[in-house]
A and B are shown apart, each in its own frame.
Chain A
């Protein structure tokens, strides 16, 4: 990955001036590169990773991973039916996978009931969907490389040779 993208992927709040210092490039070169990545859709969005499990005041949302078996359609294969599924806002991610089922769909809802309803009324009855198997997430340990655990106290000495 390009160095600017690598830095931004770890810290979206870093300024072009700072990136310039880190990479040894000029500020305007960095700005232009970022602008181009945004325009080309390489940079999709700048977002914050939030550990919702630590937020006590909000009602936690429920997530489920759903294995979906489908019958591919002539000419458009899996893409057509995948698009019909991922267009629902309840669907947070959608992957075509190898193995015993076809699509792995991640769905979010307010509680088990809403997620179940979505599956029963929207997903399962869809033509070409042959079957589903739903796994509700019970606890998140790690997400996208981030370990979701409270930071440990640092263990290094303040000073050493």
Chain B
């Protein structure tokens, strides 16, 4: 069958082989997982089961159950002082992944340029290219803590970018931005008239300062598409549920695509999400405390064994350099997997400038982390 050229040209798949190898191996200690190692809290699962028993099995409105949208807006108001209208400015999506795709498709015309951080989450360049846009890479590295500056954005804007995608705390690097840094980014966005797609799905896992939503900064609400979800904060990855908030016009455009492609998010997931937001956030706080400790442990061990690693501000990833040992992250990861049964993700999966790095997820038990780091240590000493 003849496949679309655009799809055929999509990267990767150098890394697909490595993924297949890991998925088929048994008894692997995995530091390669992009989701919390906690099961969804019981009160949320229990609510999902109850909703099925009560017969909630139908479609919902395209934008999602109105009570859920109201609760989300209430939560944003209470937590961050953000004022969004649940009727016109909020859309329930199938995870932030769908939100990203909708946002990009809603704003791009063929050939429009989008600033995409490098490294970034794997889908960023792909959704831009699928929407007919052109990616301009915004490179970061370990020396600036994997953060880009307002000045770099400004410089690249000379090439005529329409939008900026930002993800903080960041998958894969764990980097996040302080309010001060965000204010500078906001100023450039305003001067350059950029639309900003801000993916803040790891916001609850910010360790060294309070998370500031970009849209809460002066003048930003009208140019930010704010994306968030339930996967990370409530350990609900498999429920596939997120939301998008933004100006009514862009939310209407996103809803148009969403209604033709997705219709609505699963009602069971939406019922579970209602319970997640109604409950107390003890589970979230306990989870964060635990991750904070593992972060300290992992960073200190990695630096000890010779993998240079910066202290990330959030999420549950660290992004150490393997350059002293190898130039090729896929080779490094494959060899480590075969010899020591430890899985991690080669940096190159997240963009070409991340060659020479690997992503380690500390969303794994302390015992696992300890053992995995011992194995990596003995691997490096060979």
Contact = CB atoms under 8 A, between A and B. Distances in A.
Interface of A: 3, 7, 11, 18, 21-24, 156-161
Contacts, number: 50
B25 A158 contact: yes
A160 B35 contact: yes
A158 B33 contact: yes
B23 A158 contact: yes
Interface residues of B, number: 26
Contact of B296 (A11, A23, A160): A23
Contacts of A161: 34, 121-123, 171, 345, 349
Contact of A22 (B297, B343, B349): B297
Contacts of A18: 297, 370
A7 B35 CA distance: 23
B33 A159 contact: yes
A22 B294 contact: yes
Contact of A11 (B25, B122, B301, B366): B366
B320 to A, nearest CB: 16
A156 B122 CA distance: 19
A91 B31 CA distance: 46
Question: What 9 A-B pairs have minimum CB-CB distances, sorted nearest first?
Answer: A159-B32, A22-B293, A159-B22, A158-B30, A21-B297, A160-B34, A158-B22, A161-B122, A161-B34
Contacts of B34: 160-161
Nearest to A6: B289
Q: Which of A3, A22, A23, A161 has the most CB of B within 10 A?
A: A161
A158 B363 CA distance: 12
Nearest to B29: A158
B297 A156 contact: no
A160 B33 CA distance: 5
Nearest to B30: A158
B300 interface: yes
Interface string B35-52: 101000000000000000
Contacts of A7: 293
Contacts of B296: 21-24
Nearest to A11: B366
Contact of B33 (A11, A22, A156): A156
Given A159-B32, A159-B33, A159-B343, 8 more contacts: A3-B293, A18-B297, A22-B366, A158-B22, A159-B30, A160-B34, A161-B34, A161-B121
B369 to A, nearest CB: 10
B257 interface: no
B28 interface: yes
B39 to A, nearest CB: 8
B32 A160 contact: yes
B148 interface: no
B28 A158 contact: yes
B30 to A, nearest CB: 5
Given A11-B366, A18-B370, A158 B297 contact: no
A74 B336 CA distance: 72
A21 B294 CA distance: 9
Contacts of B300: 21
Nearest to A14: B366
Interface string B272-284: 0000000000000
Contacts of B301: 21
Contacts of B37: 156
Contacts of A159: 19, 22-23, 30, 32-33, 343, 345
Q: Which of B25, B121, B296 has the most CB of A within 10 A?
A: B296
A18 B371 CA distance: 13
Contacts of A21: 296-297, 300-301
B32 A158 contact: yes
Contacts of B121: 161
27 contacts: A7-B293, A18-B297, A21-B297, A21-B300, A22-B293, A22-B294, A22-B297, A23-B293, A24-B296, A156-B30, A156-B33, A157-B33, A158-B25, A158-B28, A158-B32, A158-B343, A159-B19, A159-B30, A159-B32, A159-B33, A159-B345, A160-B34, A160-B35, A161-B121, A161-B122, A161-B345, A161-B349
